[in-house]
Amino acid sequence: MKNKAFQLLCLLPVFIMLTRSARAQQVMSLEQCIDTALRQSLQLRADNYDLEKTKAGVQQQYSALLPNINGSASYQYSFQVQTSVIPAEAFGGPVGTYSAVKFGVPQTKNAQITLNQTIFNPSVTIGLKAAKLAVNLNQLQIQSSKEDLVYNLSATYYNIQSVLKQIELSNETLNNTESLLASMQQQLKAGLATQTDVDRLTVTRDNDKASLQSLANNREKYYNLLKTLMNLPLVTSITVVPFTDNEASNALLQTPTFNPDSKTNYRQIMENINISKLERQNIKAGYLPNLSLNGGYGLYGNYTNADPFKSINGKYYPSSYVGLKLTIPIFDGFSIRYQAKQKDFEIKKYEVQAQQTIQQNNKELADAYEDLKSNFITYQNQQRNLALAQKVMRDIDTQYKSGLVKVSDFINASSDLHTAQNNFVNALINIKQAELNLKKTQGTLLKN
């Protein structure tokens, strides 16, 4: 009794570790993985910084509509005041003679504030519109990054599901092979089987184990990729929801519809067209005049010695002005004309790209729809083929144990079953990939 209690006490830590391990391994659905990736993706974080940068650029464009106000101050002491030569007759002197006169005092200082306000400049308002369109373009880039992330993550998730299904089927085959091998080894001891039969079955068993090891390696690689896409530490323990047969039977086989505006790549091109049109408009605005208001106010002081804190008579003399500046373009050597032509060709290029994108999207949609129909039929056929191969394997196993067939028949049936399993898993992943491609071509990867 004491020994049993001691054994249970020793096993208790093992049970606790297993319980914690099972609890720590989180089962995540595809939707949960997508939500996690969209929240934590480093690429999306970088794209959002680009968006914030562009929004800051919009605010910078607004600043061009506001006045610019600057303040300045200066101090200067001249060891020798500049001499000016003036006609002597201005002071009653003889005509034709000149006198050297020093104007001013050695020390001068001033402080002033100036203002400049744009009144009319079409480039400013057009630039503001273009900056707002650039924000839309950044938002579309984020949308595109999200779609790529969802597509890659979904494909990885389906690959894990297919590998898990293949491991499940391969384990069943391995268990059957090991069971028969154990029985045959007993028959060998009893002289009812040959060593060659045992060796052949051992080779089959070892091949099954090698295949399982390769599948396990692929599973871990796919899990690492999945966690990377979700920006999770690689040590995080997660597992996916196993694939169920009724998922494939619910495939969407309705005739798909396509709206170009649902495709991000098409919308990006159209946004580039709008930006190029504004840039062309901005270039042509170079023909228009610009009008600005400017003004200033300052205080000036002078003194005979080097003393920044003193001024003659203790006074500072004010100075102020206000003015308008009108700039009218007259001739620029046809520079604006040819810049506008370049933008015309750029817009036409984008328009052609938009047509090409629609054609390409229509083709991809038709291909994805045909792939889905074909893969759905293939999946149903391979599902029946796998069920038949499993039945043949069970029958051969029973017949071999009854001595009705040879070990070669068992090995052949096992090989056929392995082929059927691979074909079934390939059909499984192909139909999920076709569904994913159909969503991508329709622009419905992201939930609204």
Residue 116 lies in a domain: no
How far is it, in rounded angstroms, from Cα 251 to Cα 383? 15
Within a domain: residue 314? no
Q: Dump pLDDT digits (tens) for 239-298.
A: 999 887 655 555 455 667 778 888 999 999 999 999 999 999 999 999 999 999 999 999
Q: Is residue 101 part of a domain?
A: no
Between CA 183 and CA 14, with CA 214 as vertex, the angle to 5 degrees is 75
Q: How far apart are CA 247 and CA 252, in angstroms?
A: 10
Query: Model confidence over 54-73: pLDDT tens digits?
Result: 999 999 999 989 999 999 99
Band of the pLDDT at 16, cuts 50, 70, 90?
A: very low
Confidence of residue 93 (pLDDT cuts 50, 70, 90): confident
For the cut 80, the answer to whether the pLDDT of residue 44 exceeds it is yes
Query: Considering the domain boundaries, does residue 92 fall inside one?
Result: no
pLDDT for 91 = 74
pLDDT in tens, 197-249: 889 889 989 999 999 999 999 999 999 999 999 999 999 999 999 887 655 55
Structure tokens, 19: 């319980």
Say whether pLDDT at 114 is over 70: yes
Q: Is 42 a residue whose pLDDT tops 80?
A: yes
- % of residues, the chain, pLDDT over 90: 53
- Given this model, what pLDDT does residue 400 score? 77
Residue 347 lies in a domain: yes
**Range of 168-182, 333-347, 379-393 with top mean pLDDT:** 333-347
Tell the burial category of 55 from Cβ atoms under 10 Å away from its Cβ (0-12, 13-18, 19+). middle
How many domains does the structure of the chain reveal? 1
In a domain, 109, yes or no: no
Angle at 41 between CA 38 and CA 46, to 5 degrees: 115
Closest among 286, 272, 386 to 333, alpha carbons compared: 286
Q: What is residue 328's predicted lDDT score, i.e. its pLDDT?
A: 94
pTM as predicted: 0.82
Domain limits for position 341: 28-64+121-288+333-442
* CATH classification of the domain holding 178: 1.20.1600.10
User: In 3D, which of 362, 131, 138 has the Cα closest to residue 267?
Assistant: 138
C-alpha distances (whole Å) from 194 to each of 191, 199, 315 are: 7, 9, 124
Residue 126 reports pLDDT greater than 60: yes
pLDDT in tens, 395-412: 988 887 777 888 888 888
Give the pLDDT score at 448.
53
The pLDDT mean for the chain works out to 87
Q: Are 424 and 168 in contact (CB under 8 A)?
A: no
Q: In this structure, what token pair is assigned to residue 279?
A: 């840039």
